[in-house]
Amino acid sequence: MIEGFVALYIFMLAAIAGYEVISKVPVILHTPLMSGSNFVHGIVLVGAMVALGQAQTGLEQLVGFVGVVLAAGNVVGGFVVTERMLDMFKASGRGDRR
């Protein structure tokens, strides 16, 4: 378990990293980047799997199952949508160069 100040340090450094990492994004990439970061927080699937894996009663299993379904949708949907958007991006970029 990560507790107390170690957690605070992680929080601070991750927040700064997130802020810095996209600070120079051009306007045209706003929507794809939103979609990409939407995919990244799909990591919630890992947590949903652990929560479901520890469930014992029927209620816990039901809520955990709903969590896994939702999280899987986030991951897969986020990836497919981002991929399609960036694919279009590549195609138009190549067209410009020709």
Residues 19-48 that bind another protein (CB under 8 A): 19, 21-48
CA distance 75 to 1: 25
CB of 98 to another protein, least distance (A): 16
Q: Which of 5, 88, 94, 98 binds another protein (CB under 8 A)?
A: 88
Does position 5 interact with another protein (CB under 8 A)? The reply is no
38 closest CA partner among 68, 86, 79: 79
CB of 62 to another protein, least distance (A): 9
**DSSP secondary structure letters along 12-35:** HHHHHHHHHHTTT--GGGHHHHHH
CB of 6 to another protein, least distance (A): 10
Q: Which residue has the tokens 């009663």?
A: 57
Q: Which of 9, 14, 95, 97 binds another protein (CB under 8 A)?
A: 14
